[in-house]
Structure 1
Amino acid sequence: MIKRIALTVAMVLSSAAIAEDAANTTTDIESLKREVAQLKRDMRVVISNQQALAEHTGLIKKNDQQAVQIGGSATLGKDTAKVVLIEFTDLHCPFCKKFNNETLPTLKEKFIDTGKIFFVGKHYPITSLHKNAYIAAKALECARSQKIDNEQHYTDAKNWLFNQGSRLYSKELSIFANEMELEQKEFDACMESDTVESAIDADIALVKQLGLSSTPAFAIGLKEGTTVTKWKTFTGAKGIDNFTDAIEQFLAIEQ
């Protein structure tokens, strides 16, 4: 009996030790993940500093970049902001919708509304994938043209078109104009206008000039008047941490 009790106690103690080891292992893994994430952030800073030092000392030359024009595109935030984030969107792209619904609101709260970045909304409708995306882009611009300085109106119109998605036909355009409280005749005339098409075509030409070919696509850089300089580009519906890292790197640059 004593041997049996001793064996049972030993088994209990062994199980407890195994459970403790498993808990410690889980804690260690989480700790390692945090350390790796911090090392990645530190490495990006080091690489950025090395790049700046090399350019300053003349070891390498800065890339010859053409300044990107902000133009008459939709904007959010204060134009006195130091950093500009340009979005090229396809209103029928599910990944663009994901960025718009999940990441942009946080960016707006943390960086746009606080005056740290100036957001510029441009178009890149990929009609080979989404046949009515160009029509959606025109609808957004025609809605914006009636309330050009109303940021909330632009946001509401963009959200409506994202939610409608590819189910955008003539009937839906009338519903859109009504819900956005637009003057219908003016909206219809705008939808037939070459002017709005020229503006969208200019956005498409710009995104291709920047070497981008998918959506959502972004350019981030420093604001100099009505242009963006020292820009970098990236694509995909990235999370808020990716945008935060990029924005903070540009905010740290002395102009």
Structure 2
Amino acid sequence: MANKKKYTKKPAQKKSSNGWIFLAVGIVAALAAILIFSGAFEGKKDTAENDIDYSGQPFLGDENAPVEMIEFGDYKCPACKNFNEQLFPVIEKELIDTGKVKFYFMNYAFINVDSERSAKFAEAVYKELGSETFWKFHHKLYEEQPADHGAEKQDIFTEDKLTSILAGVSSESDAEKVKAAYTKDAADKAFETDKDLVSELGVKSTPTLFVDGEEFTGKSLDDLKKMVEDAAKEKK
């Protein structure tokens, strides 16, 4: 179980699902990606030191990785789908699989009613079936997100749809087990924990990354890698 890390608290701003645009600029030895942020911070802001509690959160990577990275996302967010399909594989290959980063996913479900439903269902998957199945389901949800314009405003991830998606990556019996737990509100506490953290951190868009408690506001993958390297150096 990870230790608590320091983060810088930022005031909450208007919600948006279009905070990031990810562009794949070519595949040579590995995929390169550029992250462009909208709504950049201006001027100095008041700061306060607090702690992030990572306990009980789903993660990928070495338990002893020196740096913690969080993605705040919404399963109905098109930019999150883009992140999951284009940039995450690079982060996984270069930062997670190499033991540099312990990668967490936390919910910022605000786009539609099925944003919250899918987030809670995924939390129930993690609670009932563990980390491996959670991550399979997590990635499959983004694959199943419709590409149609405006689909994020439609109630697509119904309870039956989520159960069917889970059965496809696990089994019918596992899916029914999770559905029963979800129906009994077994994942509500975990969902509320993420919601409270979103508020405390002032997360304003999805996807948003934090590295060892500090929001990533760079513009490229190289900026992200440097932030991870700097965070690791501070541990030595």
The answer to whether the superposition gives a TM-score over 0.5 is yes
Give the gaps of 5 or more residues in structure 1. 1-62, 222-230
Q: Which has the larger radius of gyration?
A: 1
Q: Give the one of 155, 163, 185 matched to 2:135.
A: 155
Task: Quote the RMSD (CA, aligned, Å).
Answer: 2.0
CA–CA distance in structure 2, aligned partners of residues 240 and 253 of structure 1: 20
Instruction: Give the counterpart letter for 1:120 in structure 2.
Output: Y
Pair 1:245-2:226 in alignment: yes
Residue in 2 that maps onto 1:139: 121
Report which structure shows greater RCO (CA 8 Å, sep ≥6): 2
Deviations 1:78-122 (A, max 9, x none): 121111001111011111111111111111111111111111111
How many residues matched?
A: 179
Residues 161/149 of structure 1: CA separation in 2 closer, same or farther (3 Å cut) = closer
1:32-43 to structure 2, matched below 5 A, reads none
CA–CA distance in structure 1, aligned partners of residues 185 and 232 of structure 2: 38
CA–CA distance in structure 1, aligned partners of residues 131 and 207 of structure 2: 24
1:254 Cα offset (Å): 4.0
Residue in 1 that maps onto 2:201: 210
Q: Give the one of 149, 174, 177 matched to 1:186.
A: 177
Conserved 8 A contact 2:163-2:176? no
Instruction: Give the counterpart letter for 2:96 in structure 1.
Output: I
Deviations 1:144-197 (A, max 9, x none): 2333142xx333211211122252123312311321224233112121133311
1:15-30 to structure 2, matched below 5 A, reads none
Query: TM-score normalised to the size of structure 1?
Result: 0.64
Conserved 8 A contact 1:73-1:120? yes
Q: Give the one of 234, 238, 247 matched to 2:216.
A: 234
Q: Give the one of 164, 171, 174 matched to 2:144.
A: 164
CA–CA distance in structure 1, aligned partners of residues 83 and 176 of structure 2: 33
Query: TM-score normalised to the size of structure 2?
Result: 0.69
Instruction: Give the counterpart letter for 2:138 in structure 1.
Output: K
Deviations 1:7-59 (A, max 9, x none): xxxxxxxxxxxxxxxxxxxxxxxxxxxxxxxxxxxxxxxxxxxxxxxxxxxxx
1:219 Cα offset (Å): 1.6
Pair 1:82-2:66 in alignment: yes
1:100-111 to structure 2, matched below 5 A, reads 100-111=84-95
CA–CA distance in structure 2, aligned partners of residues 113 and 172 of structure 1: 32
Residue in 2 that maps onto 1:24: none
1:64 Cα offset (Å): 4.3
Conserved 8 A contact 1:84-1:117? yes
Higher helix share: 1
Residues 170/194 of structure 1: CA separation in 2 closer, same or farther (3 Å cut) = closer
CA–CA distance in structure 2, aligned partners of residues 254 and 157 of structure 1: 33
Higher strand share: 2
More displaced 10-residue stretch of structure 1: 90-99 or 137-146: 137-146
CA–CA distance in structure 1, aligned partners of residues 184 and 158 of structure 2: 18
